[in-house]
Amino acid sequence: MDEAIDIDRILQILPHRWPFVLLDRITEVIPGERIRATKCVTFTEPWFQGHFPNRRIMPGVLIVEALAQAGGVLAHATEAIQDTTSILALLGIDRARFRHPVTPGDKLDIEVAVRHRRARVWKLEGEARVDGKLSASAELLVGVVGRSE
């Protein structure tokens, strides 16, 4: 990929909407291999009202969700998913680790790589960093499933 994918294109790919879109920009995609993305963490994020009012920290589960969303964009870049009949769903999380807090003003750098793929199930490995320092990592299992309406 030669140019970044902006938020408008991300919204075309992912089914998520505010306040649950956790990517701002895709900076690199190598289909079938890896993706790099960013999330600019702002003071106005809705979860900071309660997590925690005196020490605002981005919930770890949302960092893992950002990794999964990047994985969804990677899967889409590799194999177009029919969004009217299918959706890429998070099937499992393994080895999640949270090492450094993410706070308002941070730019979360996200990298997700394909570790294994069989049929329509992907095993991904992701890391989230702030200023080069590892904040979180996890192995994710995602799969294409039928959309129930």
Contact 9, 36 (CB under 8 A): no
Whole-angstrom Cα distance, residue 112 to residue 125? 6
Q: How far apart are the first and last CA of the chain?
A: 34
Contact 112, 124 (CB under 8 A): yes
Active site residue 51: yes
Set 16, 51, 76, 100: catalytic member: 51
Tokens, residue 91? 């099937």
Which of 101, 106, 74, 100 minimizes the C-alpha distance to 88? 74
24-49: b (≥16 Cβ within 10 Å) or e: bebeebeeeebbbbbbebeeebeebe
Active site amino acids: 51
